[in-house]
């Protein structure tokens, strides 16, 4: 196994970035500067560090052991998190045999093998997903404060995850406004203090984050797809056309989702609406890496098993989700499932209620 660590530097590459950033911070260097990250053997890391400064003290835990030991411990923790996540989905969301079989298939193959990509990259995405889906289960049980707290914890590392707090606005009783505002205030306080204490680090973090421009298979997201398309247009494109088209997509996804929310009966339709929200969140995210698609495994199982009732549509949906023919297929597959789910929820909302059944004899 030690041979694999040295011979295949592509394995857990993100872990090397995390550890190098923690090491640079411990030595008083700016981990966001070019050339500041030094990995095993003194090799300079080419990829930048793109997490906010509040993550740096937490990443210091990666310096407790030598790199080889940290490598295997981190891998073991990731595998444990994967098992825990699948077990959570299986027990609480998809307990029957059909949905369980679909879940296992999609965990293995869905969205360009998104789970495998996360394990291979050494990213923290699977840990983030454990927090998110534990929060989702809490939300389904009406524990909005726990949901808000878990999403806020995940957003300490990845700021865009805070967008998942918006689902609390679906609570028509307005009881979820407090948890929403509390979580947003907590995140603003933590990151605000970080910016006030080390403005140089926070400004460098924002520069690195703004410079990210992954395309294709590694980042099958809306903005990357638009930019690739705009660059293929003949002649010079109008200024900011990519952002105009991106905003248009966000508005269309939002309008489609809100049309469902207005017609749905809460809490009876909460499962379907929540899965539609997660699909819409992925579609509207400006950056959504290949391993981020772990988030869409349960919504995809829900559409295949609950929404699609006939064999052929189910097989076509599974084929679309579990194959990877072109670079942005994951985003297209999410779009198709989102449209199918939105149409299903709309038709269910338009369906007249069944005849009232008279109560039987006592």
pLDDT in tens, 329-351: 999 999 999 999 999 999 887 76
Query: Would you give per-residue pLDDT tens digits along the chain (362 residues)?
Result: 444 444 455 688 899 999 999 999 999 999 999 888 887 766 777 889 999 999 999 999 999 999 999 999 999 999 999 999 999 999 999 999 999 999 999 999 999 999 999 999 999 999 999 999 999 999 999 999 999 999 999 999 999 999 999 999 988 778 899 999 999 999 999 999 999 999 999 999 999 999 999 999 999 999 999 999 999 999 888 999 999 999 999 999 999 999 998 877 666 678 999 999 999 999 999 999 999 999 999 999 999 999 999 999 999 999 999 999 999 999 999 999 999 999 999 988 776 554 444 433 33
Which candidate, 318, 107, 130, 333, places its Cα nearest to that of 220? 333
DSSP code of residue 294: G
Phi, psi values for residue 38, rounded to 5°: -120, 120
Residue with the two structure tokens 């966000």: 250
Structure tokens at 59: 């990443």
Which candidate, 70, 75, 55, places its Cα nearest to that of 123? 75
- The string of pLDDT tens digits covering residues 56-101 is 999 999 999 999 999 999 999 999 999 999 999 999 999 999 999 9
Q: Dihedral of CA 202/187/298/274: which sign?
A: negative
Q: Are 79 and 119 in contact (CB under 8 A)?
A: yes
Q: Are 33 and 204 in contact (CB under 8 A)?
A: yes
Name the 3-class secondary structure at 118.
Answer: helix
Q: Are 49 and 19 in contact (CB under 8 A)?
A: no
Structure tokens at 215: 């395309």
| Confidence (pTM) | 0.93
CB atoms within 10 A of CB 20: 24
Distance of alpha carbon 174 from alpha carbon 238, whole angstroms: 43
Q: Give the containing element (helix H, strand E) for 67.
A: helix 67-92
Distance of alpha carbon 236 from alpha carbon 259, whole angstroms: 37
Q: Using alpha carbons, list the distances in angstroms from residue 350 to 16, 61, 91, 166, 343.
A: 53, 54, 32, 25, 11
């Amino acid at each position: 196994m030690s041979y694999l660590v040295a011979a295949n530097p592509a394995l857990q590459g993100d872990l090397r970035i995390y550890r190098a950033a923690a090491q640079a911070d411990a030595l008083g260097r700016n981990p966001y500067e070019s050339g500041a990250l030094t990995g095993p053997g003194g090799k300079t890391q080419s990829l930048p560090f793109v997490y906010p400064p509040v993550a740096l003290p937490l990443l210091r835990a990666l310096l407790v052991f030598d790199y080889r030991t940290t490598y295997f411990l981190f891998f073991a923790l990731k595998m444990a998190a994967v098992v825990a996540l699948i077990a959570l989905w299986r027990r609480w969301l998809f307990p029957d045999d059909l949905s369980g079989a679909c879940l296992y298939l999609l965990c293995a193959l869905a969205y360009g093998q998104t789970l495998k990509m996360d394990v291979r990259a050494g990213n923290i995405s699977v840990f983030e997903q454990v927090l998110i889906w534990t929060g989702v289960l809490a939300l389904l049980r009406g524990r909005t404060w726990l949901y808000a707290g878990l999403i806020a914890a995940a957003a300490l590392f990845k700021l865009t995850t805070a967008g998942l707090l918006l689902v609390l606005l679906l609570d028509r009783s307005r009881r979820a406004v407090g948890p929403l505002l509390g979580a947003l205030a907590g995140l603003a306080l933590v990151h605000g203090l970080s910016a006030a204490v080390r403005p140089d680090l926070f400004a460098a973090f924002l520069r690195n984050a703004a410079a990210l421009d992954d395309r294709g298979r590694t980042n099958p997201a809306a903005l990357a797809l638009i930019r690739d398309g705009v660059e293929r247009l003949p002649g010079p494109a109008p200024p900011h056309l990519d952002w105009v088209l991106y905003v248009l997509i966000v508005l269309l996804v939002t309008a489609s989702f809100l049309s469902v929310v207005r017609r749905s009966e809460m809490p009876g339709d909460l499962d379907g609406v929540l899965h539609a929200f997660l699909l819409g969140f992925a579609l509207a995210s400006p950056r959504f890496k290949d391993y981020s698609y772990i988030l869409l495994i349960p919504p995809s199982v829900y559409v295949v098993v609950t929404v699609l009732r006939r064999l052929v549509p189910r097989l076509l949906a599974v084929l679309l989700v579990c194959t990877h023919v072109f670079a942005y297929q994951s985003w297209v597959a999410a779009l198709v499932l989102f449209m199918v789910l939105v149409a299903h929820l709309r038709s269910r909302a338009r369906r007249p209620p069944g005849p009232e059944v008279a109560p039987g004899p006592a």
